[in-house]
Amino acid sequence: MVSRRLQEIPASGTIAISNLVSQMKSEGVDVVSFSMGEPDFVTPSNIVDACCESLRGGFTHYTPSMGIPELRKAIADSARKESGVPCDASNVLVTPCKQAIFMVALAYIDPGDEVILSDPSWVSYEACVRLAGGIPVYVPTRFEDGFVMDPAAVEAAITPRTKMIIINTPSNPTGCVMPRDSLRQIADIAMAHGIKVLSDEIYSSIVYEGEHTSIASFPGMFDNTIIVSGLSKSYAMTGWRLGWAIAPADDIKAINKLQSHSISCAVSFVQKAAVEAIEGPQDSKAAMVKEFRRRRDLVMDLMEEIPGFQCNVPKGAFYVFPKYNRDIPSAKLAEILLREGHVAVTPGTAFGPGGEGFFRISYAASEDQIREGMSRIRSVMAKL
């Protein structure tokens, strides 16, 4: 007897496809996977060494629920230096990034509250809002505008029930990096209406053109913002499940209540490794970003060879979100690509209704896989 609340929520589109790909691979099918947003690099060795040392040293017990003090400090120092966020260790809670989003939804959304989010946007925001009893209010963004969220459209969507605005820059799935001025306008709107912003900055260090701006860095805005981020994407640490929330201390206390009743704390020895990731040498991170950029350019070049595709050049993250000109629903297209071409992509509609007519390619894959996968997409599309 599954709760009505859960019955209404579909399983995560990204995870469902990734599970299917794993199953097909285990059955011997040679699938090229562009579905999961997961770097194919190995976690840098200094981080792995720090983790092993911590494990061997017996750091294998619970930690304080908010995280170990040296990691909270390292995270705050880095957010202050890199993004100008006026925070210190008391503003940090260590937890996996997805868990942070889930807890923020439960901590702030009452049944019937409305949450404004960009359409398209990452698959699990809507689910978290709904699980908390809230109502997602999609603000459409346009391919022609590079999927930038329009501050006027955000303001127009506000009602007396609006509780939160979710921002994700760089964006999954579009790779849009929000211009500073648009972010500033959204910050002003949020402050004027007393609405909290959940700012998902998990791709903040993967920016190729322009620069990342944290909405929390505008004067007065930190009091209104909860930032979530983590190590998964920038340090190739998806399986380590380590991230954080940064917010005013009272918000952190509220979120910590949920942490104390759910996961208790983040994994102890991974927290030690995280200190090394943030404070140790950053050259591996820089090299990965450089390589992602090369792959982005490669995918864009290969896409030019596929008739009927149009795609913005993504400025950040590691996704492209092409528009196709066939009259086929995106879920059906993804199914055909997987079944006939053995190439896994995520349908645009997994990211909201505005994703119809698009699909997402994660190019966090090797060059060989990118070449092979794009050639398979091209052959399948030629038959449609």
- Interface contacts to ligand GLU, rule CB under 6 A: 12, 14-15, 36-37, 98, 122-124, 172
Question: Do 312 and 321 contact (CB within 8 A), yes or no?
Answer: yes
CB of 14 to ligand GLU, least distance (A): 4
Question: Do 362 and 370 contact (CB within 8 A), yes or no?
Answer: no
| Residue among 15 and 287 whose Cβ is closer to ligand GLU | 15
CB of 36 to ligand GLU, least distance (A): 5
What's the CA gap between 39 and 251, in Å, rounded?
31
Query: What phi and psi values does residue 32 have, to the nearest 5 degrees?
Result: -95, 125
CB of 159 to ligand GLU, least distance (A): 29
Question: Do 190 and 152 contact (CB within 8 A), yes or no?
Answer: no
| Residue among 123 and 306 whose Cβ is closer to ligand GLU | 123
Task: Please identify which residue in the block is written with the tokens 């086929």.
Answer: 328
CB of 264 to ligand GLU, least distance (A): 22
| Residue among 33 and 271 whose Cβ is closer to ligand GLU | 33
With vertex at residue 124, the alpha carbon angle to CA 158 and CA 165, rounded to the nearest 5 degrees, is: 20
Residue 357 zone, left/alpha/beta (φ > 0; ψ -120 to 50; rest): left
Per-residue 3-state assignment (H helix, E strand, C coil) for 15-66: HHHHHHHHHHHHCCCCCEECCCCCCCCCCCHHHHHHHHHHHHCCCCCCCCCC
CB of 194 to ligand GLU, least distance (A): 30
CB of 18 to ligand GLU, least distance (A): 7
| Residue among 217 and 362 whose Cβ is closer to ligand GLU | 362
CB of 233 to ligand GLU, least distance (A): 8
| Residue among 114 and 200 whose Cβ is closer to ligand GLU | 200
| Residue among 6 and 15 whose Cβ is closer to ligand GLU | 15
| Residue among 65 and 171 whose Cβ is closer to ligand GLU | 171
Question: Do 237 and 231 contact (CB within 8 A), yes or no?
Answer: yes
Closest residue to ligand GLU, based on beta-carbon distance: 37
Q: Of 279, 227, 275, give the one whose Cα is nearest residue 63.
A: 275
